[in-house]
Amino acid sequence: MKVEIISCLQDNYSYLIIDETNNLACIVDPSEAGPIVDYLKNKNINLKYILNTHHHFDHVGGNKELKKKYNSIVVGFKHDSERIPEIDICLEDNEIWKRDNFIAKIIHVPGHTKGHICFYFYEDKLLFTGDTLFSLGCGRIFEGTYEQMFSSLNKIKAMPLDTQIFCGHEYTLNNSKFCIKHDSENLNLKKKIQNIQIKLKHSLPTIPSTLKEELDCNIFLRAKDVKTFSKLRDLKDNF
């Protein structure tokens, strides 16, 4: 599988997962249709599936138009079926979603929203984390509790170290400033920040990250208990 990163809106990323043998693709979290239509123009790729991590507008905004244009199938979490526009396939926690050559495990990760899920394409170790785990950060807790978010992140922490993390926003630089403020002696973090700066200087995405890098550098994953985590989350909200 090949993953193309498509910038949307201000700082969102949508991800096109392409099965090049069959010219089929899934789009993860299309914020808006325009940039995805532009990318697909003059390419022989059938946008067969739209995968949504959660119902926020900047993750589902393109559903309707893309579905209409490409006849795509919208895939999302069962318990958010009321809030995900045009949903066709309703998924459950821990379900293995398998269509054509696409195989992903569904991981329910409440906290940012009640019905947030991650798509884990385990054969290629690609994890689409939406607004739950960011590079060097995590999502704001809008609908869930600190405990829920902490245990959702713990599910991700248990995955293979070389899992590639594809998150919903380019927040990495700002996140890095918060991490270094509270973890100033972390050499891995310092190295990662240099790396981030080089990428951004060349207008490249800082995504994907790897789970190993996040475990080494992301202060929210390094929080040892829910109390520490909650305190950091509160500080970040006002950062």
Q: Which residues are catalytic?
A: 54, 56, 58-59, 112, 131, 169
- Please tell me whether residue 55 binds Zn ion under the rule CB under 5 A: no
Applying CB under 5 A, the span of 33-41, 99-107, 145-153, 162-170 interacting with Fe ion comes to: 162-170
Beta-carbon neighbour count of residue 42 at 10 Å?
6
Instruction: Choose the stretch contacting Zn ion; rule: CB under 5 A; options: 50-58, 153-161, 204-212, 226-234.
Output: 50-58
Identify residues 91-120 at the interface with Zn ion (CB under 5 A). none
By CB under 5 A, tell whether 169 contacts Zn ion. Answer: no
- CB 75 → Zn ion: shortest distance, Å? 17
In order of 54, 56, 107, 120, the CA distances from 142 in angstroms are: 12, 11, 19, 23
Q: Which stretch binds Fe ion (CB under 5 A): 58-66, 103-111, 182-190, 206-214?
A: 58-66
User: What's the CA gap between 59 and 154, in Å, rounded?
Assistant: 23
Q: Which is nearer to Zn ion, 70 or 129 (CB)?
A: 129
The two tokens of residue 145 are 């509790």
Near Fe ion in 122-161, by CB under 5 A: 131
Interior angle at CA 162, CA 110 and CA 15, nearest 5: 60
Pairing of strands 89-91, 73-77: parallel
Based on the shown chain and the rule CB under 5 A, indicate whether residue 32 belongs to the binding site for Fe ion: no
d(CA 239, CA 226): 20
- Judged by the rule CB under 5 A, the positions of this chain that interact with Zn ion are 56, 131
